[in-house]
Amino acid sequence: MLNIENITERFEELIDDDNISQLTEELNGYHSADLAEILAALNDENRLTCFKLIDEEKAAEMLEYSTPQIQVELLGDVDEELASRIIQKMPHDSVADVLGDMEDDESEAYLNKLPDIVSEEIRELLAYKEDTAGGIMNSAMLTVHKDMTIREALEYLRVKAEKHNIELYYLYVTDKQEHLLGVVSLRKLLTASPNTLISDIMMRDIVKLHVDDPQDTVADIFMKYQYNALPVVDPYNRLKGMVTWDDAQDIIEEETTDEILTSSGFSTSLVDEDEILLGGTMKSVRARMPWLFITLIGEFFAVNVADMFQGTLTAMPIIAIFMPLLAGLGGNIGTQSITLIVRGLSTGQITLHSAVHQIWRELRVGLIIGILFGLMVSLATWKWQHNWELGLVVGAAMCINMAMATLIGAVTPVLLKKMKIDPAVASGPVIATTIDVIGLFIYFSLVTIFLVKIL
């Protein structure tokens, strides 16, 4: 593991001493991914100084590992000619992502400096929605025709791949109109006889993506088939690009991050994920406020429930002591259930058809745990207050509350999924508030019903 603090201190010393040659040598000795991490830890001025000293090829690779905020910042601060050269060395899908985060006039200036064929391909990528296969794919790829021999295909690839610096995972076969006909693995290409036709070894049953496929579908297909790359076609089956495994990995990481933030009550639709953590204070406030406001309204319902049973509280104030206990355990077990269901729906382990079985399973789990904890609470209350009736009521409330919490936690995301709403929005604030309201109502109702016996 890198000691980022020591490295940044070293670079700052070299900058202060104006030892540019040594700084350049040390910078270019690191891997691009490490450089991205190191530069992110430097202040803006030193980061820019270091970036200008990095080899252009390595700078292009480093930007792929950097956050969108740093990408835009660095390319916006260096000379336009240098920025254009670096951009040209990046994969087209990465360039589209970077330019998509810039102001229109700024991205247009860079596009105009790129070769026409590259600029045209990137403009096409920018036309697709960012969270679709079309917006994710890399349009720079090599294709061959089915009537080529293996020898011709290898010679063609040798020339084109070296000239255009294109990643090779599979060889896609198209006709003259660029319709996707088949795919050939590099292993087959290298082991087949040189005079064999491409059409004789290509696989015609192709797993492919469509330009409008949402990114979560892209991630699901990669996880299911485990390919290194998948072709992307338009509605007419014309090959438009490919999505690689590292793109899919980024999608999965992004989806997981979004799921965690959404379930914790952050509004990722209002503020970009990176800006929630690294952006300005007000952007973080904006991301947190909506769900907190909804929670505030929900908790007023809980307050209203307590007010409904004011007579019960007045007659027996000690019951208020157990309110945090019920709310805390109910909220925790409900969150556990909703986390399992949301994750299961996300990974495909749980479908809408199998959801009923899973809901029933969660209810059984909640009931068993509720009985066990209810017994513990009953015994503890009896020993503490020397009142077995009070212990029985609190224990019963605990059991019912935990069972109901698991039921709500299991049912809510399934219902949202059925309504085509992100199930992750159900967790966090929604589940906690709902369980608080229902839990308090159950508890106060039981105490009120059996109050005469307790007293």
Confidence of residue 69 (pLDDT cuts 50, 70, 90): confident
Q: Is the domain of 122 the same as that of 37?
A: yes
Which residues, 6 or more positions from 157, have their beta carbon under 8 angstroms from its beta carbon?
Answer: 142, 144, 168, 171
| Residues 366, 406 contacting (CB under 8 angstroms) | yes
pLDDT (0 to 100) of residue 349: 80
Q: Is the domain of 109 the same as that of 231?
A: no
CB neighbours of residue 393 within 10 Å: 24
Q: Is the domain of 315 the same as that of 222?
A: no
Q: Is 176 inside any structural domain? A: yes
- pLDDT at 451 > cutoff 70: no
Q: Quick one: which of 67, 4, 78 has its CA closest to 34?
A: 4
Q: Is the domain of 54 the same as that of 97?
A: yes
Q: Is the domain of 112 the same as that of 181?
A: no
Confidence of residue 200 (pLDDT cuts 50, 70, 90): very high
Residue 215 belongs to a domain with what CATH number? 3.10.580.10
Q: What is the pLDDT of residues 313-334, one digit of tens each?
A: 777 888 888 888 888 888 888 8
Q: Is 346 inside any structural domain? A: yes
Please, what sign has the CA dihedral across residues 364, 369, 373, 375?
Answer: positive
* Residue at which a domain ends, from 68, 96, 127: 127
In sequence order, the β-bridge partners of residue 2 are none
Confidence of residue 426 (pLDDT cuts 50, 70, 90): low
- pLDDT at 452 > cutoff 70: no
Overall domain count for the chain: 3
Q: What is the pLDDT of residues 113-150, one digit of tens each?
A: 777 777 888 888 888 888 899 988 988 788 899 889 99
- pLDDT at 372 > cutoff 90: yes
Q: Is the domain of 60 the same as that of 90?
A: yes
- State percent of the chain over pLDDT 70: 93
Q: Is the domain of 57 the same as that of 102?
A: yes
Q: What is the mean pLDDT of residues 78-106?
A: 83
Q: What is the mean pLDDT of residues 405-418?
A: 87
Phi/psi at 233 (5° precision): -120, 160
* Residue at which a domain ends, from 103, 127, 151: 127
Q: Is 292 inside any structural domain? A: no
Q: What is the pLDDT of residues 152-192, one digit of tens each?
A: 988 888 877 666 666 778 889 999 899 999 999 888 888 88
The rounded mean pLDDT for the chain is 85
Tell me which range, 253-267, 295-309, 400-414, is most confidently predicted by mean pLDDT. 400-414
Distance CA 304, CA 309 (A): 9
Q: Is 376 inside any structural domain? A: yes
Q: Is the domain of 94 the same as that of 212?
A: no
User: What is this structure's pTM?
Assistant: 0.67
Q: What is the pLDDT of residues 71-85, one digit of tens each?
A: 888 888 888 888 888
3-class SS of residue 346: helix
Residue 445 belongs to a domain with what CATH number? 1.10.357.20
Distance CA 381, CA 385 (A): 6
Query: Which H, E and C letters describe 182-251, residue by residue?
Result: EEEEHHHHHHCCCCCEHHHHCECCCCCEECCCEHHHHHHHHHHHCCCEEEEECCCCEEEEEEEHHHHHHH
Q: What is the pLDDT of residues 256-303, one digit of tens each?
A: 777 777 766 677 767 777 677 666 778 778 878 877 787 788 788 888
Q: Is the domain of 206 the same as that of 96?
A: no
Per the structure, the complete domain to which residue 230 belongs is given by 143-248
Q: Is 265 inside any structural domain? A: no
pLDDT (0 to 100) of residue 449: 83
Q: Is the domain of 165 the same as that of 89?
A: no
**Residue whose entry in the numeric block shows the structure tokens 């956050």:** 67
Q: Percentage helix, strand, coil, to 5, in the chain?
A: 70, 10, 20
What DSSP string describes 262-302? HHTT--TTTS-HHHHHHS-HHHHHHHHHHHHHHHHHHHHHH
Token duo for residue 17: 């001493």
Q: Is the domain of 89 the same as that of 155?
A: no
Q: Is the domain of 176 the same as that of 217?
A: yes
Rounded to 5°, angle at Cα 374 from 392 and 439? 90
